Amino acid sequence: MCTSICYSPSDHYFGRNLDYEIAYGQKVVIVPRNYEFEYRELPTQKSHYAFIGVSVVNDDYPLLCDAINEKGLGIAGLNFQGPNHYFPKMEGKKNITSFELMPYLLSNCETTDDVKEILADASILNISFSDNLPVADLHWILSDKSGKSIVVESTKSGLHVYDNPVHVLTNNPEFPDQLIKLSDYADVTPHNPKNTLVPNVDLNLYSRGLGTHHLPGGMDSSSRFVKVAFVLSHAPKGKDEAENVTNYFHILHSVEQPKGLDEVEDNRYEYTMYSDCMNLDKGILYFTTYDNNRINAVDMHKADLDSKDLICYDLFKKQDIEYMN
């Protein structure tokens, strides 16, 4: 399972929990403006907007998991196995493979409105990056620094772009169905509940937090969608960058998966491998990993963004405990 959010207290903070059981050797990667992109069915691009994200690098190609560009547009790919459907090459359409979608949009768009325009005549092409890598069944959340979010899904009925008023995405089912399920929890509240059950009886509200009694807590996609939408929508605004980044990670970590709870096959468990937080306004990527709770950061504007070569930083680190005595 994975969860992605955009939190907008003043600046806009975008990112995700990547929950899975297979490590692909992801790194933090900066793709500078003059790194050349060759597409399968679109013209080669010698220069474009720069971006930063988490990526697998294969044959010097950035296979992105999530990233933001220098104009403040963010995108993350989350598993969507089942409803997902990609297409063979279609005449009269922009044919974009699933692994090209992120670099193509980040290279060419500043806002989610630009993305809607560019995808109006697009189709996702069913081609893998190489014979030894499977096609990833994904849907995508995109957010921009004006505070808008959208979701892109390719299903048998075609390519769909939905406005995302809750700024949250998890996995199945399709996005409109996830939104509908929020109604089942419309009365969940941070306040202690009013007794409307037996108003004539003086109930002993025996605990704090009873307004969240019905909030789901499962690892499944729908439960995480509802829980993180609630946590995000009630999150406080911090007074500075450090406070906002701290708030952001508390929101995402409210739906993180510890090892041992989500068995995907005998004795093999999905867990939250990393969580990232990308400031869309400042171009800084913050991250924590399963084994390292410290918040690490990479600022894209401190790198040479006019370079032609990928710039990589380690993502997975050892635990870093500050012993006090």
Ligand X SMILES: C[C@H](CCC(=O)NCCS(=O)(=O)O)[C@H]1CC[C@H]2[C@@H]3[C@H](O)C[C@@H]4C[C@H](O)CC[C@]4(C)[C@H]3C[C@H](O)[C@]12C
For the annotated catalytic residues, the residue numbers are: 2
The binder of ligand X chosen from 30, 52, 65, 179 (CB under 6 A): 65
Quote the least distance from Cβ 249 to ligand X, whole Å: 18
**By CB under 6 A, is residue 67 in contact with ligand X?**
no
Cβ proximity to ligand X, 18 vs 119, nearer residue: 18
Q: How far apart are CA 185 and CA 201, in angstroms?
A: 25
**By CB under 6 A, is residue 105 in contact with ligand X?**
no
Residue 239 CB-half CA count within 13 A: 0
CB 96 within 8 A of CB 39: yes
Q: Give the full edge-to-edge strand order of the sheet including 51-58.
A: 158-163, 149-155, 138-144, 73-79, 61-69, 51-58, 27-31, 311-314
Q: What is the CA radius of gyration of the chain?
A: 20
Quote the least distance from Cβ 110 to ligand X, whole Å: 23
**By CB under 6 A, is residue 75 in contact with ligand X?**
no
Report how many residues bind ligand X under the rule CB under 6 A.
Answer: 22
The binder of ligand X chosen from 10, 128, 195, 293 (CB under 6 A): 128
Q: Determine the interface stretch with ligand X among 86-94, 125-133, 149-157, 203-211 (rule: CB under 6 A).
A: 125-133
Q: Determine the interface stretch with ligand X among 78-86, 191-199, 275-283, 307-315 (rule: CB under 6 A).
A: 78-86
| Sign (positive or negative) of CA dihedral 125, 126, 130, 135 | positive
Q: What is the crossing angle of helices 112-119 and 98-108, to 10°? A: 130
Under rule CB under 6 A, which residues in 4-33 are in contact with ligand X? Answer: 18-20, 24
The tokens describing 178, both together, are: 């996830």
Under rule CB under 6 A, which residues in 145-204 are in contact with ligand X? Answer: 171
**By CB under 6 A, is residue 274 in contact with ligand X?**
no
Q: How far apart are CA 167 and CA 14, in angstroms?
A: 9
Binding site for ligand X (CB under 6 A): 1-2, 18-20, 24, 56, 63, 65, 77-79, 81, 99, 128-129, 133-136, 138, 171
